[in-house]
Amino acid sequence: MMMPRKCRYFVYITASKSRVLYVGVTGGLMSRVLRHKRGERGSFTQKYKVSRLVWFQTFESVGYAIARETEIKGGARRKLL
């Protein structure tokens, strides 16, 4: 009998050559990074050419992944203030 496959969610950071960062959550890391590289989706990633995967973390719960993304984004903003 096969065991059900666990879902995985990823929090990831992509960067541009000029060091602009983008933090996101996805259920398909490689396909999402490829969309960034092709310039698809959000205008932010197209405008700043944010396409290099520089970091990721894996979660089994989408809730934990979103909480981690929020923590990272909040920390980045706090450092700027």
Q: What are the extents of the domains in the chain?
A: 9-80
How would residue 25 be classed by pLDDT, with cut points 50, 70 and 90? very high
Tell me which architecture the domain covering 9-80 has in CATH.
3-Layer(aba) Sandwich (3.40)
How would residue 81 be classed by pLDDT, with cut points 50, 70 and 90? very low
Share of the chain above pLDDT 90, in %: 57
What sign results for the dihedral spanned by CA atoms 68, 72, 74, 78? positive
pLDDT at 41 over 70: no
| Pairing between β-strand 21-26 and β-strand 52-59 as defined by DSSP bridges | unpaired
Higher-confidence residue of 48 and 39: namely 48
**CA 62 and chain centroid, separation:** 13
- What pLDDT score was predicted for residue 79? 55
